[in-house]
Amino acid sequence: MFDKKEIAKYPLKKCKSFGYTFSIFFLLIFLFFYLKFDNQYYSLLVVSSIFLSITLVRPQLLRIFSILWEKVGLIIGKICSPLILILIYMTTIVPINIILRIFSVDLLKKQINQNTKTYWIKRDRKSINFKKQF
C-alpha cells in the first residue's frame, strides 16, 4: 500500500502540521458542543490532547496518518472539482444562454442575412498616441 521510501521521505513538517490541525479541530468541536449544547464530550478533548502530545513528542508517529489524509484529500479533490465546475456552469452559463435564445440575441452575428453585401465591420481610423495616453 505504501512504499517505505515514500514514508521515509515524507517531511516531518507536514506531520507536525497534520497533528496541530487535528488537535485544534477536535478542540474546536469539543468547545462547540460544550458551549452550545452543554454536552460534555470529554472524549474529543482527550483525542485533541493525544494529537497535541504526539505532535510535540514524536511527530513521526503521525506520518502514515498524514499520508493517508493527503491521499483522501486528493481523492475528494478529484471528485468535488468537476462537480463544482458543473454547478458553476449550470448556474451561470446555461441561464444566460436560455435568456439570449428567448430574446433571440445574436451576439456573434452568426445569422446570415441575404440583404447585406459584406459582413466586414467598419473600423474608425483614429490614431493612438502612446506617448500622451492621458
Which residue type sits at 51? F
Q: Using one digit for the tens of pLDDT, what is the confidence trace for 15-65?
A: 999 999 999 999 999 999 998 887 778 999 999 999 999 999 999 999 999
pLDDT above 90: residue 112? no
pLDDT at 2: 65
pLDDT at 118: 84
The pTM of the whole model exceeds 0.75: no
DSSP structural state of residue 130: S
pLDDT above 90: residue 1? no
Q: For residue 130, what are the contacts with CB-CB under 8 A and spacing of at least 6?
A: none
pLDDT above 80: residue 124? no
Torsion, Cα of 126, 129, 132, 133 (10° steps): 60
